[in-house]
Amino acid sequence: MQDYPTTPNPQQGQPGQQDAPTPQPAPSQPTYAAPPPPQYATPGGQQPRSPLSSNRKKLLIGGGIGCGALLVLCMCMGLIGALASQGNTSASSGNTPVATTAHKAPGIPQPTATPKPKPTATPKPKWVVTHTYKGNGIQKTDTFTVNSDHWRIAWSCDPKAYGFEYNLIADLTPPGDDFGDSVVNVICKASDPSSTSGETNEYSSGTFFLDVTSEGPWVFKIEEYK
């Protein structure tokens, strides 16, 4: 085989020279890596939470509760102070009672006193006309009934309408009888007012009619005392 020439290695010494020792680097200071944060196992395979975040939440919750309690305490102290100042004001005024005016609630009707009924005055009895009969000459009236034990017959005649004086006779007769009690027996004269009108009192109840004998006009009224 053919030999090829080789290039001498510059790092190698010349033949016949000793190799100088290669200088070694100075040993550096050892470095320490920070240990990884400890891992905490959680039940159910959940991602472990950092203790720092858990402590922060606890601090926030505790701070909120503390602020709320402080606010309630301040409100209580303010209320107590207001009551105490009001008590002091009342004491300094000499405990003088102050009249207060009661206010009525709007829209609510207030009870009113029921008025006492006034006694009704009993009306006094008076004469009341129950029947009226008018005629001319000799006639018999219709029958009528009177239930009162005190009643009267008012009569009148008119000699001016007739032209001169005339007789007026009337009997109070029960039905079925031919004769009755005389009610009036006068000669009607224009010159004598007592002969042209008057009343006759009766004191027995019952059913009657008037048997009238006359030449001129007449009027009879049956009146009861009620």
pLDDT of 124-142, one tens digit each? 889 999 999 999 999 999 9
pLDDT in tens, 139-174: 999 999 999 989 999 999 999 999 999 999 999 999
pTM, entire model: 0.48
Q: How many CB atoms lie within 10 A of CB 216?
A: 19
Q: Give residue 10's pLDDT band: very low, low, confident or very high (50, 70, 90).
A: very low
Of 219, 218, 133, the C-alpha closest to 167 is: 218
Assign a CATH topology to domain 130-225.
Answer: Jelly Rolls (2.60.120)
Cα-Cα end-to-end distance for the chain: 185
**Ramachandran bin of 137, using left for φ above 0, alpha for ψ from -120 to 50, beta for the remaining angles:** left
Q: Is the pLDDT of residue 51 over 90?
A: no
